Amino acid sequence: MPATNYKQMTIPMEDHKTTPTVAPFAPPGVMIFNCGLPAFQQTGEAYEAFREFNSQKKDKSGAKRKMLVFPCKVADNMGLQPVFCPICGAFLKKNGTTQIDVLHIPFGTSRTVLRADRQQYQCTNPECRHKVSEEIPFKIDAHKVTQQLENLIKDLLGMSTITLKDIATITKTDKGIIKDIDKKRLLEQYTEQGEDGKRKMKPPTVYSPFIGIDEFLLHKGHQYATIIIDLTTGHVLQVARGKKKDVVYKFMDWVGKDWMKHVKAVACDMNTDYCEAFQERYPDIKVVFDYFHIIKNFNEKVVSEVRKDEYRRLIAEGRVDEAKHLKGAKYILMSSRESLEAHDALMGQVIKPGSQLFDIPEVKVKKALTEIYDKLISENKLFLTIDMIKEELKEAFTTTDADVMKKMIGHIIAVCYATGNSHFKWFGNMLKNHRSGILTHAESHLSSGKVEGTNRLIKTIRWQAYGFKDDEYFFLKIMDASRR
């Protein structure tokens, strides 16, 4: 790299105007600079005021917020002022002025308000009398905010961990404005105008040979939604209300036959009938039952139920202490041995610092979860079987040899039946009935990572977008977050 030639970069002296002016350019404490707002013209000195900018009924605090007000107007001859009535085409005449407050990037801790006098017009046609307001070139169309403020909000929205409330606090705006700007951005990115004039989702532009389909709880109630993802990229392709086969039919119509013909395999939960819907129309598509869902089913339908049965048995036998002990062991029984070992590796370490000021003791890792786990499985044959099945399932899903996997799954099914326990039998039956889809895993090398990742993502978005009962927005946020 050659050394920078500073002489060349220096602006010639005569253009530089370094000669100090004798009279000060501006009064003390005043900055004069080009704010970059199109057609903005300040008409008086800025002043501080305490008033609600946009008093919303929701804001019950009654707190008065400080704001910095810049009196202004649209610079003469710089706006595109209306001449003709947009309704009848007759000439317009001036009809007094009103005031409009436009929010700008905040200075320090206050809102910055551009308070503009706005020329009003009225149609000269006595039959029409239509009223038109002057254009404000430094205001965006949808909201009373400047382009610069909207850009700042969009930049902040690009950060993945920030909440809408945080952005509203930083930009001194309302959460509603942030959400509207965000939704507008998402609609532009993910939707397009359909032939019937309605907005519709843009279909995917690249093929996805491996897709996954899953359901998730929409709200605290019992409403479900379905999510379809590209398992290679993790991109969410579609989110839809409901969890019926109908969702799959609509998805296939939307992406079209050509796109569907490029799908090689679809991964889903054994407990749903999504896969059937795919195979009805495209019998060549392979169905894969992924590890994540199989473990989820095993934990929810076997581990959890067996533990509850055991708890009831101990209570009935009057062994209350042992029952209590078991009640607290839910997490331990559902965890994999690795995560228990990872926990125990932190033995003796401080996981929560204490405070001498507030008399809070520090918390150290002191219980060895693997010991508790080993004790549980040594005392109870069913827990031992749970442990064995988990280990074997994990191994079966790491092999790429279909024959080896077949043997292992066959063994698990036999063990399930041998227990004589109804929950294990249920699981054994499910494995048996979905055996071919499970064995496809060995050839497809599909990893559950993206399925699990999407599950976590939905939880985060739910928390960030909390408070908006707008499913459309929630779904768009999920699609967007999966592409980050």
Binding residues for Zn ion, rule: CB under 5 A, are 85, 87-88, 90, 123, 125, 128, 130
Yes or no: say if 251 and 263 are a contact pair by the CB < 8 Å rule.
Answer: no
Min dist CB 139 to Zn ion, Å, is: 24
Min dist CB 126 to Zn ion, Å, is: 10
Which is nearer to Zn ion, 123 or 164 (by Cβ)? Answer: 123
Which is nearer to Zn ion, 88 or 342 (by Cβ)? Answer: 88
Which is nearer to Zn ion, 130 or 183 (by Cβ)? Answer: 130
> H or E segment at 110?
strand 110-123
Could you tell me which of 388, 207, 212, 399 has the C-alpha nearest to residue 289? Answer: 212
Min dist CB 46 to Zn ion, Å, is: 38
Helix 147-157 and helix 164-171, axial crossing angle in degrees, nearest 10? 150
Which is nearer to Zn ion, 88 or 162 (by Cβ)? Answer: 88
Q: Is 36 left (phi over 0), alpha (psi -120 to 50) or beta?
A: left
Min dist CB 474 to Zn ion, Å, is: 43
Min dist CB 205 to Zn ion, Å, is: 45
Which is nearer to Zn ion, 130 or 406 (by Cβ)? Answer: 130
What is d(CA 426, CA 428) in angstroms, rounded to the nearest whole number? 5
Which is nearer to Zn ion, 91 or 331 (by Cβ)? Answer: 91
Which is nearer to Zn ion, 88 or 351 (by Cβ)? Answer: 88
Yes or no: say if 138 and 39 are a contact pair by the CB < 8 Å rule.
Answer: yes
What is d(CA 179, CA 464) in angstroms, rounded to the nearest whole number? 11
Q: Record the tokens describing residue 7, joined without a space.
A: 């002489």
Yes or no: say if 173 and 145 are a contact pair by the CB < 8 Å rule.
Answer: yes
What is d(CA 164, CA 175) in angstroms, rounded to the nearest whole number? 6
DSSP state of 139: S
DSSP string, 388-440: HHHHHHHHHTT---HHHHHHHHHHHHHHHHHH--HHHHHHHHHHHHTHHHHHH
Min dist CB 93 to Zn ion, Å, is: 11
Min dist CB 119 to Zn ion, Å, is: 17
Min dist CB 141 to Zn ion, Å, is: 22
Count CB neighbours of 102 within 10 A. 23
What is d(CA 254, CA 226) in angstroms, rounded to the nearest whole number? 15
Min dist CB 94 to Zn ion, Å, is: 15
Min dist CB 154 to Zn ion, Å, is: 37
Q: Record the tokens describing residue 414, joined without a space.
A: 């036999």
Which is nearer to Zn ion, 87 or 402 (by Cβ)? Answer: 87
Which is nearer to Zn ion, 121 or 289 (by Cβ)? Answer: 121
What is d(CA 134, CA 80) in angstroms, rounded to the nearest whole number? 8
- Greatest C-alpha distance within the chain: 100
Could you tell me which of 118, 121, 128, 116 has the C-alpha nearest to residue 89? Answer: 128
Which is nearer to Zn ion, 84 or 331 (by Cβ)? Answer: 84
Which is nearer to Zn ion, 74 or 85 (by Cβ)? Answer: 85
Could you tell me which of 311, 376, 380 has the C-alpha nearest to residue 337? Answer: 376
Q: Parallel, antiparallel, or unpaired for β 131-133 and 199-201? A: unpaired
DSSP state of 281: H
> Tokens 């080896």 appear where?
404
